[in-house]
Every structure is written in structure tokens, then in C-alpha cells.
Amino acid sequence: MTTENKKLSFFADEPGSFAAEVLLSSEEDAALCLDYAFGGGEGAQLTITRGEENVQLDLAPSDLPRLGEALNRLQQRMAAEQEAIGATADEPTNQP
């Protein structure tokens, strides 16, 4: 099951099972993978892959809202700064 966005794929999204992969635009051959299986532990596993290297983090259910809030704030901060850069670029220059 894949979304229209080719950099986001859902391999499982049903009761008791979830698996998704986000391909990163900033790095070639890098991805974030999220896995959850009911009964396979209390939380989810986040795997960050870059080439042959990977880091696995176990996430408790209570970690997910904080992670979501942090990502939302980061998205808002980046959008605000991009907007500020665009506004500065649109200002007329004072030339004699």
C-alpha cells in the first residue's frame, strides 16, 4: 500500500500492525522506517537507515505525541523562516 507521495510508503496499516517508510530528500539512500506489531512489545521501533548503516530506537507509546509535537514545531519554524526569506527577497532595493 503506497501513497501518492513516492517518498512515503505504508506497508501495513491495520489493527495490530503498522509499517511505514519515509525516504529522505536530503540524503541519497537514507530512510526512516516505523514498525509496530501488537503483541510484539509495548511500543514501536524507529529505524534510521543511511546506506549500510542503521540505528534502531524503541519508542514507548508516550514518546509518540512528543515526537509528533517536535516535528510539527520544526515544520512551522522552517516554514516561517522560508516565508521571511521570501519576504526579504521581495522588498525593493534602495539604489541611488
Question: What is the chain's pLDDT, residue by residue, as a tens digit (96 residues)?
Answer: 555 578 999 999 999 899 999 999 888 889 999 999 887 667 899 999 998 999 999 999 899 999 999 999 999 999 999 988 887 776 666 655
Q: Is the pTM of this model over 0.85?
A: no
In this prediction, residue 88 carries a pLDDT of 75
Query: Domain residue spans in the chain?
Result: 8-89
Whole-number Å distance between alpha carbons of 68 and 41: 21
